[in-house]
Amino acid sequence: MSKTWTVSELNRYIKGCFEENANLRQLVLSGEIANFKRHAPSGHCYFSLKDDKASITCVMWRSQVSRLTFTPANGMTVLVRGQVTVFERNGAYQLYVDRMLAEGAGALAIQFEELKQKLAKEGLFKTAADRRPIPTYPARVGLVTSETGAVIRDMLTVMRRRAPYVKILLAPATVQGPTGAASICAALDALYQRDDLDLIILARGGGSQEDLWNFNEEPVVRKIAASPVPIISAIGHETDVTLADFAADLRAGTPSIAAEQAVPNQADLQNSLQARRRALGQALLRDVRLARWRLDQTYRRPAFSQPEKILAPYAQALDERFMALDRGMKGVLDRADLALQKRIGPLVALNPLAVVARGFSIATDDSGQVISHPADLPVDKHFYLRFADGTIQARSLGPVPEEEGKDYHE
């Protein structure tokens, strides 16, 4: 006898069968949204996805809803990816949606969005503040693209016409197919080894999303983000967007536009130089005229036209100070002369010549020593008598007795 199942056991078993089926674990489904509801408290979305013959119940949790780039609505055709499973409580199978894109998207688009969000979370994409400025006057530019085809020819034509002095280093790469990503990475690595490059351009012509997919592959995007110099992404046409564009420092609409943005226009530089030369000449002329006017104004000032008027007050002050100095010097000399006279008086009184001038004389020997005592003059000793107006030579006759001497003097 076969086993008797409960309803919950059956639903659980069927759910397991669904979840073990690889085809149902990760499938992409296209259809039209119907019965769309967003549960306000939880933020989860419940809806049906239908075509002209059938429909399936779908659930999208709030965490996946927050990643949507548009607002779903009834009647909108979308592409979803998710897992088919069974809701055990009522036995209904439904699709748990983890990705949703608007009409026209495909599996590559979902893959694109997933990788974009992953790399963005890692900070691999450059913000406006992170983007390095493109050099205004690069000397060497590295170019990664196919070495054949219209892209390389067009870019070289543009760059050589605009700036023939710029050296272009080509690192050829396969830009499409299964080996494209590895080839692009190898070409970039070869350029990264150099230290003389100012700029790198990564370029490819237009194509389908599949043709451009190499520039959405994770190794290529990481390699672009690691560039040691500013890098321009020029992939496809203006409407084509790749993940390489988000990692580059500048996105160009086309390879030809990238060539124009990479190097300055020689004609524009020449025109700019001419304009600056004219502006500099005019500025110098203005400065010369202004300097000449200032010189004229300065020359007209009294200091230059009538310098004596400036010097006159100083000359008068100098005369007054000279006269004051003269008076001061005379006063100093008078006071010094008076002090000198006061000191000369006593000296004159003590001068022996002054005594001689009053009728006295001074006796000296041959050596000029003054003879103070009679005993110092032996008989017949020669000596000298100095008078006020001259000196005579004398000879000693010997000392005179005190009384005789007194009579002699009388």
Please give the Cα distance from 72 to 296 (Å, whole number). 81
Residue scoring higher pLDDT (127 or 315): 127
What pLDDT score was predicted for residue 106? 58
Domain boundary residue, one of 88, 105, 122: 105
pLDDT tier, 264 (very low <50, low <70, confident <90, very high otherwise): very high
Domain boundary residue, one of 235, 264, 293: 264
pLDDT digits (tens, 9 = 90+) for 351-400: 766 666 666 778 888 888 888 787 777 887 888 878 777 888 888 787 77
**254 plus 157 within the same structural domain:** yes
Residue scoring higher pLDDT (17 or 313): 17
Closest CA to 80 of 211, 243, 88, 57: 57
Please give the Cα distance from 233 to 258 (Å, whole number). 8
- pTM, two decimals, is 0.52
Other C-beta atoms lying within 10 Å of the C-beta of residue 65 = 17
Please give the Cα distance from 49 to 43 (Å, whole number). 19
**337 plus 365 within the same structural domain:** no
DSSP 138-165: -SEEEEEE-SSSHHHHHHHHHHHHH-TT
Residue type, 410: E
Closest CA to 100 of 56, 69, 137: 69
**312 plus 374 within the same structural domain:** no
Domain assignment present for residue 186? The answer is yes
**98 plus 196 within the same structural domain:** no
DSSP 201-253: EEEE----TTTTGGGGSHHHHHHHHT-SS-EEEEESSTT---HHHHHSSEE-S
What is the span of the domain harbouring residue 340?
A: 302-349
Residue identified by tokens 């490819």 is: 204
What pLDDT score was predicted for residue 107? 63
**172 plus 157 within the same structural domain:** yes
Domain assignment present for residue 118? The answer is no
Residue type, 33: I
pLDDT digits (tens, 9 = 90+) for 71-107: 888 888 888 889 998 888 888 889 999 888 877 555 6
Judge whether 196 and 164 are in contact, CB under 8 Å.
no
Tell how far CA 9 is from the center of its chain.
Answer: 72
Residue scoring higher pLDDT (230 or 392): 230
Residue identified by tokens 């420092």 is: 249
Decide if pLDDT at 315 tops 70: yes
Closest CA to 155 of 266, 254, 264: 254
Domain assignment present for residue 394? The answer is yes
Please give the Cα distance from 108 to 209 (Å, whole number). 8
Q: How, if at all, do strands 140-145 and 199-204 pair?
A: parallel
**219 plus 251 within the same structural domain:** yes
Name the token pair of 147. Answer: 């070495």
**333 plus 358 within the same structural domain:** no
**157 plus 207 within the same structural domain:** yes
Domain assignment present for residue 134? The answer is no
Domain assignment present for residue 90? The answer is yes
pLDDT digits (tens, 9 = 90+) for 101-159: 877 555 677 778 888 988 999 999 999 899 999 999 999 999 999 998 899 999 999 99
Domain assignment present for residue 154? The answer is yes
What percent of the chain shows pLDDT beyond 70?
94
Please give the Cα distance from 59 to 34 (Å, whole number). 12
Q: What is the mean pLDDT of residues 330-350?
A: 83
Judge whether 112 and 218 are in contact, CB under 8 Å.
no
Q: What is the mean pLDDT of residues 330-342?
A: 88
What pLDDT score was predicted for residue 409? 47
Please give the Cα distance from 92 to 385 (Å, whole number). 169
**63 plus 97 within the same structural domain:** yes
DSSP 300-330: TSHHHH-HHHHHHHHHHHHHHHHHHHHHHHH
Other C-beta atoms lying within 10 Å of the C-beta of residue 68 = 16
Domain boundary residue, one of 349, 371, 386: 349
Domain assignment present for residue 234? The answer is yes
Q: How, if at all, do strands 27-38 and 92-102 pair?
A: unpaired
Domain count, the chain: 4
Decide if pLDDT at 185 tops 90: yes
Q: Residue 238: which residues within 8 A CB-CB, separation 6 or more?
A: 253, 254
Name the token pair of 321. Answer: 């100070």
Name the token pair of 279. Answer: 């502006």
